[in-house]
Amino acid sequence: MKKFLSMLLALCMLMSMTTFASAEGGTIMWLSNTSSGIQYESTRDYMKAICDAMGYKLTIVYGDMFNDAAGNLTAVQNGMTSDVVGIVASMDGGMSAIMEQYPNLYVAGYNTDMNSVYGEGGANASLLTNDHFLGTLCDGFADGADMGHQYFKVVQEKGWKKISIINFPGYAYPNQTAAVAAFMADLEAYNATAAEPITLVGEPLTLEFQPLPDSYFLEDGMDDLDGIVAFCAGIIFVYPTMITAKLNGFCRMDTQMMTGGFDNNPDIVADIGDAEEGKTIGWICVAPSEDVAYALVLLDNAITGNQFPDFVQERVDSASYVIDSTEDINKAMTKGMIGTGDVSLAQISVDEVLQLAVRFNPNATFEGLKGIFHSEQLSVDALK
């Protein structure tokens, strides 16, 4: 009986220690802007692996699809538990209200430009002076003009001479408005001296989150494009209509599209790559799923009182993860987390993530954290 009681006491102590350790770490909440797809799934699994290694639990709530302030606040309220210690925010609507209601929580942005915080007169500008707000790593460029310059450079490199532009509305994506303006300025400057100018067919079209209408390719000149510059989510909103137009003879079979985002649908994947091979999607740029580690490192530092000595709350551009050839898409689909969803293929491993946090590496710095997320390590060329 004494041996049994001793064993029972030891087991109870072990269970108590395990429970305490879990409670001490607490829970990280992800306010997600997506709920399905390979990017969501790989990000979720990668976050879970990192949180496990850091000693946290992970919970996910889904923000309002229109980034509505009240909707996001309600999502956080409904998912909140007493052990939540930090939020990874992929949406900024209502963030001031969220942080006012939960003032002890640390918040780090991921995959969002947080324009309502950093933009002039932004609704959440008060967070700039809140020491529990840790900044954000954008979905692409913080300044939409940089995206416009990037896209125009790709058009030049591809040698497209007849193009059209499609984007989302500025009230939801102000960065796309800035991108279109910068692209148009570059186009005007290029055409002023070019021996063979680039023709913009029609005016830029703003899609109100509806698929590109079938009538688009019946408009004057749209049947003879070299490429479509889709600042919007072109794979979802432009590509299906484009394929239908090709099959119906309303669009040149060699017309290509460039856009942002990623989808591992086999039919879409098979149509990404080189124009010479008859591929429709010639260029995509996507923020790597590995980017979420940036927010988790900042949260861990803040929660444990080990923030970088050189830390500055700021908005940081994401690395440009570009797929622009058949070789690239084949590598991404077999050797990278982006295409396989396999966390073991992450281009910044979980062990490497831990070494970016001060708790696990006292020599870690903020500049070092930013540096790895803008290094060649996060590129398609790095996949072997």
pLDDT at 153: 98
C-alpha span between 237 and 134 (Å, rounded): 33
Overall number of domains in the chain: 2
Identify whether residues 118 and 188 lie together within a single domain: no
pLDDT at 85: 98
Q: Summarize pLDDT for 301-312 with one digit per residue, the tens.
A: 999 999 999 999
Residue 263 included in any domain: yes
pLDDT at 173: 86
Residue 269 included in any domain: yes
Mean pLDDT of 358-378: 96
pLDDT at 320: 87
Identify whether residues 166 and 103 lie together within a single domain: no
Asked whether the predicted pLDDT for residue 357 surpasses 60, the reply is yes
Mean pLDDT of 206-229: 96
Residue 79 included in any domain: yes
Average pLDDT of the chain, as a whole number: 92
Residue 334 included in any domain: no
Identify whether residues 133 and 214 lie together within a single domain: no
C-alpha span between 17 and 6 (Å, rounded): 16
pLDDT at 15: 32
Identify whether residues 279 and 298 lie together within a single domain: no
Identify whether residues 196 and 135 lie together within a single domain: no
Percent of the chain with pLDDT over 70: 94
pLDDT at 5: 37
Identify whether residues 193 and 102 lie together within a single domain: no
Residues 6+ positions from 54 with CB-CB distance below 8 Å: 25, 296, 300, 354, 357
Asked whether the predicted pLDDT for residue 154 surpasses 70, the reply is yes
Q: How confident is the model at residue 24 (pLDDT cuts 50, 70, 90)?
A: low
- CATH code (residue 202): 3.40.50.2300
Q: Is 111 left (phi over 0), alpha (psi -120 to 50) or beta?
A: left
Residues 6+ positions from 350 with CB-CB distance below 8 Å: 49, 50, 53, 343
Residue 10 included in any domain: no
Q: What is the CA radius of gyration of the chain?
A: 23
Residue 14 included in any domain: no
Identify whether residues 243 and 299 lie together within a single domain: no
Q: Hunting for tokens 């870690």 — which residue is that?
A: 364
* Residue type present at position 50: I
Residue 4 included in any domain: no
Domain boundary at 286, 310, 329, which? 286
Asked whether the predicted pLDDT for residue 23 surpasses 80, the reply is no
Q: Summarize pLDDT for 255-292 with one digit per residue, the tens.
A: 999 999 888 999 999 999 999 999 999 999 999 999 99
Identify whether residues 87 and 159 lie together within a single domain: no
Identify whether residues 149 and 277 lie together within a single domain: yes
Residue span of the structural domain in which 246 resides? 144-286
Which carries the bigger pLDDT value, residue 4 or residue 92? 92
pLDDT at 19: 27
Q: Hunting for tokens 């999607």 — which residue is that?
A: 281
Identify whether residues 242 and 267 lie together within a single domain: yes
* Residue type present at position 244: T
Asked whether the predicted pLDDT for residue 56 surpasses 90, the reply is yes
Identify whether residues 134 and 201 lie together within a single domain: no
Residue 76 included in any domain: yes
Identify whether residues 94 and 106 lie together within a single domain: yes
